[in-house]
Chains A and B, each alone.
Chain A
Amino acid sequence: MTPTVFVVDDDASVRDALAQLLAAAGLSVRSFASGGAFLQECAPDWRGCILLDVAMPGMSGPALQEALAARAIRLPIVFLTAHGTVPTVVQAMKAGAVEFLQKPAAGPVLLDAVRRALTIDAERRAQDTAQAQILGRLGTLTRRERDVVALAARGRSNKEIARQLGISHRTVEIHRGRIMRKLDLATSFELTAAAVACGLIETPDPPRAG
């Protein structure tokens, strides 16, 4: 699905005007009259961001934010409010909102916030995809190769790995070459980054003295 800006606002004129503005700026737009309506249709594969009104009858903007978080839907949110109160802003930003804008917002400011939200979503998706790919490739490694990855990602030298696993230095070298080919990685730095991204190790150990 093309990245889309989902406008959620109970005011029909505001919905229509925002949709026109976003479409004129070349963005794909879909509008919803309530948080409930959005929640009903929303699917995990939806890409883009939400332009969300704060005060709506029924489900409020922050309530929708909470409901989406509970469903692990991570579409970035730009809040628009007709009358903002400090606690609402703080709460929304803490819960991961990209921006909190006061209505009426200047066109360039609004478009800038929306584009930033779209970028955040795109980057997150790319990261997720890369992670998924590496995870998939990790699945093709043998058990011994995984042991080597876990140690190599922590910055251990081939000699140390050989000693720790009780195998020869040469065997470690062969495992390492095969791992880099299977995971399609070029440097040991990339290996560490991939291992951290996939949750294989928490953080790399600090470099050792000597």
Chain B
Amino acid sequence: MREMAADREHRVDERTLALQAEVEQRQRAEDRLRAEHEFLTAVLDTADALVVVLDPDARIVRFNPACERASGYRAEEAAGKSFWDLGLLEPAELDGVHTVFERLRAGESKVRWENHWIDRDGGRHLIAWSNTVVHDARGEVSHLLGTGIDITEQRAAEDKLRIRTEELAHLHRRYTASELAAMIAHELNQPLAAISSYAEACLQWASAGAQLPEHIVRTVEKIAAEALRAGRFVNGLQRLTAKAGVEVQAEDLNALVRGACEVVAPLARRAKVRILFGLDERLVSVQCSAIQIEHVVVNLVRNAIEAISSAGLNDGEVMLTTRVAEGMAEVTVTDSGPGIEPGQAEKVFEPFFTTKAEGVGMGLAICRTLIEAHGGRIWAHPGHGGKFHFTLPFAS
């Protein structure tokens, strides 16, 4: 009897110990889980990315602080609500987001999508989403997980740059037309002037008493008239393409140089060319048309980058410097390309001069026209490494 009691007691002790061990083990597991959970929460809370988790009925399970910032709703307000009821979406974009939701619920993973969130104050945020799903043990979709990045500012900056790039490309086409027209006008008007003057000379002789048959006189008159007609066309063409009166004002040359380099930055990255600056920050304002000078800088830097890559170099550098020289502001663009051959430093500015396989040869001709119209000068240095300079008058 006593033995039995002792045995039972012993078993109770054993069981108690086992239970204690089990409790401790479970406790440790729970601690681990909690730590894991806290760690994940900390990550979600501090991430700049928006993280939203929905159940298959679109009820909000998780709404991290980045979501709070972009929506204006607190996580407590959002929790348990249907995502569609929060009113975050633009009506025009609703269908698209619905489709994404259905695709995810059907088990598709990794669905990328861009749409706006309208926050409580009506502010619009463009968000690039990368969505995926979480499956439960039975393989059913248990949660939909969206990770998003607010790209409003980035996109605005990209749009601005794209618009500027397009503006510059448009200007380039116009200037090319204008440069061509001026050249055609010059080349054609000279012989037309000669033809017209020769014909007029004949008519003068006729009226001074030279015995010319009437039909010859009439025909010479027609020659003179036709020369003038051709001249009117050529001069009309030139007026049509003439650069409209440009507005010049005081501009920060260093800012213009930096702005122009933003436009060519994608090209530079592709060609693995670094753009370096050596700008004299004490430079005072110059008198110019900002868009035209930006156009000149873009042209020079683009040429420099193309010179480096077309020489088969795998990388290189373009350096832009500004300084004061002889009472003018001077910009210099140097590159690590092969440079200009001696004897070509003047020729590069002539229309139709090009060393590029697909070049037209108007870029530098246009640059010269623009800079000279500003009262400045542009020139190139022959030798190893491309080196172009231009000057502009200071404002005031």
Contact = CB atoms under 8 A, between A and B. Distances in A.
Please indicate whether A and B come from the same complex rather than being unrelated chains.
Answer: yes
A82 B197 contact: no
A107 B186 contact: no
B201 interface: yes
Interface magnitude class on chain A: 20 to 34
A104 B198 contact: no
Contacts of A24: 200-202, 204-205, 208
Interface of A: 11, 13-14, 16-18, 20-21, 23-26, 55, 80, 82-83, 85, 102-107, 110
13 contacts: A13-B191, A18-B193, A23-B201, A24-B201, A24-B202, A24-B204, A83-B185, A102-B231, A103-B190, A104-B192, A104-B196, A104-B227, A107-B197
A13 B204 contact: no
Contacts of B242: 85
Interface in B168-196: 182, 185-186, 189-196
A55 B182 CA distance: 12
B82 interface: no
A104 B230 CA distance: 9
Nearest to A15: B194
B235 A102 contact: yes
A16 B194 CA distance: 8
Given A20-B201, A24-B208, A107-B200, A13 B194 contact: yes
Contacts of A20: 197-198, 201
B64 interface: no
Most interface-central of A26, A85, A107, A110 (chain B CB within 10 A): A107
B233 to A, nearest CB: 11
Given A17-B193, A80-B193, A83-B182, A103 B200 contact: no
Given A20-B201, A21-B204, A104-B231, A11 B185 contact: no
Contact of B231 (A23, A55, A103): A103
Size range of the chain B interface in the assembly: 20 to 34
A120 to B, nearest CB: 22
B186 A83 contact: yes
A71 B230 CA distance: 39
B224 interface: yes
Contact of B198 (A17, A55, A80, A106): A17
In terms of DSSP, what is the predominant structure of the interface of chain A? mixed
Contacts of B371: none
Contacts of B182: 83
A56 to B, nearest CB: 11
B238 interface: yes
A18 B185 contact: no
B228 interface: yes
Given A18-B197, A102-B231, A104-B196, A26 B208 contact: yes
A127 to B, nearest CB: 31
Contact of B197 (A14, A26, A102): A14
Contacts of A13: 190-191, 194
B210 to A, nearest CB: 9
A164 to B, nearest CB: 52
A107 B224 contact: yes
B261 interface: no
Given A104-B230, A107-B199, 6 more contacts: A14-B190, A23-B201, A26-B208, A82-B189, A102-B189, A107-B204
* In the A-B complex, the 10 residue pairs with the closest CB atoms: A107-B200, A24-B204, A17-B197, A103-B193, A13-B194, A82-B189, A104-B196, A83-B185, A20-B201, A17-B194
A130 B224 CA distance: 43
B366 interface: no
B333 to A, nearest CB: 27
A104 B189 CA distance: 6
Nearest to A108: B200
Nearest to A27: B204
A83 B189 contact: yes
B132 to A, nearest CB: 64
B228 A104 contact: yes
B221 to A, nearest CB: 10
Contacts of B194: 11, 13-14, 16-17
A82 B234 CA distance: 10
A13 B197 CA distance: 10
A186 to B, nearest CB: 42
A25 B204 CA distance: 6
A82 B235 CA distance: 9
B203 interface: yes
A83 B192 CA distance: 13
Contacts of A83: 182, 185-186, 189, 235, 238
Contact of B193 (A14, A25, A26, A55): A14
Given A14-B194, A104-B192, A82 B185 contact: yes
Given A24-B205, A83-B238, A103 B189 contact: yes
Nearest to B221: A107
Contacts of A23: 201
A87 B202 CA distance: 35
Nearest to A55: B186
Interface in B74-121: none
Contacts of B224: 106-107
A20 B208 CA distance: 14
A44 B204 CA distance: 31
A105 B208 contact: no
A62 to B, nearest CB: 13
Interface centre among B199, B201, B235 (most CB of A within 10 A): B201
